[in-house]
Structure 1
Amino acid sequence: MISRWVHSVVFSLGMVLLLVLVPVPAQAESGFAPVDRPGPALSVPPEQLRASLTCHGDPGSDPQPVLLSPATSVTPQENYSWTYERAFAAQDRFSCAVTMPDHTLGDIQVAGEYLVHGIREMHRLTGKRIAVLGHSQGGMNPRWALRFWPDVRGLVDDVIGMAPSNHGTESMPGCGPAPAECEPAVWQQQAGSDFTRALNSRAETFPGISYSVIYTRLDEVVTPPESSELHTGDGMIGNVAVQDVCPTDVSTHLLVGTVDPVTYALVVDALDHPGPADPARVDASVCGQPLMPHVDPMSVNTFLQPLSAVPGLLSTALPGVNLVGTPSTDREPQLRCYVYAAGC
């Protein structure tokens, strides 16, 4: 009896030591690449990267230049041509937009390479540290470039996310075996995905960069809405709900990334001041505005661009429905070798 008891104690102590000494891969931050390891060479052909970037305005103009990153399932034309591109043109602000492959529904690791190129090219054109502005996935995926390509951090002054999917969402369509397959970016933006764990590993933000997270507490796409927020790392972080400025604001996910005037005021505040957006600097009169400035409700483009985005939006929202031709898969894309501390 005593010998069995001793054997049991020794076995239990051995298991405790084993658990202490052997890391659990699913939870081990050390499994992901160090934040200061140089990024890999870009795998996307240079001619495709060059063709993806469309710019407007004078690179030598005074306002801070902005790189626009589109949301899941839409092009920059559908997302920004009738909203922020018009506003930035009126401000004499140089801006560029990245057109992602597969209607921004493909592997976000590939989208990250397009953003690395866009950041480098805009800095070359302007000689300035730039701002990166995006809606939903477009507010999150620049952080993939910053996380795994440290050289671009010194080229970026602001990262501004409008309802960004920084930690994934619990409300994405239920992805699973055929016929309920999903596009790669939909898989990757589910809460708890391998992609989101890698994205937020070790540090969410980096020194010298201001991060403005602008979201709505009524978000029905990125849920819970507070999952947009950032908290770790050494960057300057401002997490602001539009209801912090206007308590009765009823903007949803799509409105925050398009025509919401409160979001626009916070975006401009972040661009025109050092550090992240500060709701205390936003005039309360914005609460009475129906649309952000420079959106023309009488323009045909104001209606055509949102309508042209409908097929992509339906492809994202409805499992098994694919109206834009993006290949669907039955699982999340495998993480690239550079993501891991030990490679593949």
Structure 2
Amino acid sequence: MRFSIPYFALGASIAVHDTAARAVVAVDEEPAVESRGLVGGLVGGVLGTVLGLGDVLEQLDQTQDPGTILDILNGVKPRATPTSLPEVQETLQSIYGAATPTNLFKNVALQLGSGLGPHDGGKDLTSIIAEHLDGENSVDNSNNPTNVSRAVYPSASAGDAPYSVPEAQLRAAIRIPAAFTFGAKPPVLLVPGTWSYGGSVFGVNLRKLLTGSPHADPVWLNVPGGMMRDAQVNSEYVAYAVNYLSAICNSNVTVVSWSQGGLDTQWAFTFWPSTRARVSNFLPISPDFRGTVLANALCLSADSELGLGPCDPAVIQQEHTSRYIATLRAAGGDSAYVPTTTFYSGFFDEIVQPQHGTEASAYLLDARGVGVTNVEPQVVCPSGSPGAGFYGHAGMLYHPLTYALIVDALSHSGEPGSLSRVDVADLCSHYAAPGLTLEDVLATAGLIPIALGLMLTSPDKRLIEPPILSYAKATSRV
């Protein structure tokens, strides 16, 4: 079953409001963000009718209770399943590319009903989430070596920030697969994003492609709480993992991240300077170095415009006007510390906005001259080609340019990925990286419903972001 839904760009803008309930500071001038919408709510109406989800969408409009929303989503069963990669792209575009981003849960319901979610085998979202918290997503991994070649804890360098997490817990969050070579091949650290764990984020896309490569030996992070807690603490896991992996492998590390994982890696580079010399390349996918003006829309509230509902700490910290973002950028985190290649979709990241051009949240400067390549496929790929089409927040994990430039960077240690060294025309002619199947792409798209389900079940909700820790206050200019 295919959906062909026309869409229209409306010139509305999304306003982010400072409120007494948020501890915020002014940073850059508020960027203008184009909100894509449908005349008369065409996507929700037409697609919802096709899928028989009219009542579901109406119910989601009438509640802000996380448990109720999860119960509603649990009842959505797939009415159709895409049978080709072009159909996946077209269906995702019909859901996210044209809907005003005010109720992501309605879009997730449409995604689940379109067969683009994790509802396989008749299991509901709650059951899938429960299974999601074990195995490759375990936060308690006991096979990691304790004999390291140099000190990494409590500090790898006198200039590093202090850790608040015990070393055993930091180490247990690193998942090292049985086939890891401990330095015979370059180690690659995979860092997940908000409401996710490294095992499932990368297992059906980049880890699958990198496993067996002569240029990469992937391991991944499973941060307790699924990256929903204080982002400053999440960053400790990244900083420790970089120094630990470098020590046990006697080599530098490449970091590949998704979403908040990129932001927290940049925080680690900023406040744990020892990590910079241990990283050959940084390859963040859909990062939000400037935060996102859509963070408020993820906060459940009767007043969704103001976003006054309680949020996970890391979500509040990713608001465009948060102190976390301001502190990072004021301390120099708006520019790369190591060779960096960023990947972001200008059409349309449903989680991070703005995400287009030099004002994109993912766009990183190069004041230190280390080498930066900022890759927006809708700019790089010829207009009308598959690679210039719709890719959402998770879609960049399977974009052909993403994998090709990761391999290019790994093959040229100490340099960012270079578009001049890859066959851009050929890559842009594909919907997904060669080697990935339709099932892999569907599973990657299904990361968004799982992430939103994890958000609905997380217990730590706040109105005010965690305070900036003393080491960051002393270093930054905020």
> The TM-score by the shorter chain falls in which range?
0.7 to 0.9
Q: Distance in 1 between matches of 2:188 and 2:346?
A: 26
Matched ranges for 1:281-292 at <5 A? 281-283=421-423, 284-292=425-433
- Could you tell me the TM-score, scaled by structure 1's length? 0.79
Alpha-carbon spacing, 1:326–1:127, altered in 2? closer, same or farther (3 Å): farther
- Equivalent in the alignment of 1:339: 472
User: 1:123·1:129 contact (CA, 8 Å) conserved in 2?
Assistant: yes
Decide which of 325, 329, 332 is 1:196's aligned counterpart. 325
* AA of the residue aligned to 2:364: L
In the TM superposition, residue 170 of structure 1 has moved relative to its aligned partner by 0.9
* AA of the residue aligned to 1:281: R
- Equivalent in the alignment of 1:246: 381
CA RMSD, aligned part only? 2.7
Is residue 2:312 matched to residue 1:183? yes
Decide which of 361, 364, 368 is 1:227's aligned counterpart. 361
Q: Deviations over 1:49-104 (max 9, x none)?
A: 11100123212334x32110001111112200111111111314211111112111
In the TM superposition, residue 201 of structure 1 has moved relative to its aligned partner by 1.8
In the TM superposition, residue 195 of structure 1 has moved relative to its aligned partner by 0.2
Alpha-carbon spacing, 1:106–1:231, altered in 2? closer, same or farther (3 Å): same
User: 1:187·1:331 contact (CA, 8 Å) conserved in 2?
Assistant: yes
- Equivalent in the alignment of 1:122: 245
Q: Deviations over 1:126-168 (max 9, x none)?
A: 2111111111111221011110111111111211111110110
* AA of the residue aligned to 1:242: P
- Equivalent in the alignment of 2:171: 50
Q: Distance in 2 between matches of 1:214 and 1:311?
A: 22
- For structure 2, the 5+ residue unaligned runs are 1-23, 28-156, 303-307
User: 1:53·1:98 contact (CA, 8 Å) conserved in 2?
Assistant: yes
In the TM superposition, residue 307 of structure 1 has moved relative to its aligned partner by 4.3
Is residue 2:76 matched to residue 1:76? no
Q: Distance in 1 between matches of 2:374 and 2:444?
A: 29
Alpha-carbon spacing, 1:342–1:53, altered in 2? closer, same or farther (3 Å): closer
In the TM superposition, residue 290 of structure 1 has moved relative to its aligned partner by 2.6
Q: Distance in 1 between matches of 2:443 and 2:361?
A: 32
Q: Which of 1 and 2 has higher RCO (CA within 8 Å, sep 6+)? A: 1
Q: Deviations over 1:165-188 (max 9, x none)?
A: 011011123448898111011101
Q: Deviations over 1:231-287 (max 9, x none)?
A: 153132221211233134124233444221122212222222242122222212111
Alpha-carbon spacing, 1:132–1:181, altered in 2? closer, same or farther (3 Å): same
Q: Distance in 1 between matches of 2:411 and 2:390?
A: 24
User: 1:70·1:135 contact (CA, 8 Å) conserved in 2?
Assistant: yes
- For structure 1, the 5+ residue unaligned runs are 1-24, 29-35, 317-321
Q: Distance in 2 between matches of 1:308 and 1:137?
A: 14
- Equivalent in the alignment of 1:17: none
Alpha-carbon spacing, 1:177–1:309, altered in 2? closer, same or farther (3 Å): closer
* AA of the residue aligned to 1:43: S
Q: How many residues align?
A: 302
User: 2:343·2:396 contact (CA, 8 Å) conserved in 1?
Assistant: no
- Could you tell me the TM-score, scaled by structure 2's length? 0.58
User: 1:213·1:230 contact (CA, 8 Å) conserved in 2?
Assistant: yes
Q: Deviations over 1:187-216 (max 9, x none)?
A: 011102100011112323455x20111111
Q: Distance in 2 between matches of 1:291 and 1:206?
A: 28
- Equivalent in the alignment of 1:38: 159
Identity %: 26
Alpha-carbon spacing, 1:153–1:206, altered in 2? closer, same or farther (3 Å): same
Q: Distance in 1 between matches of 2:174 and 2:267?
A: 18
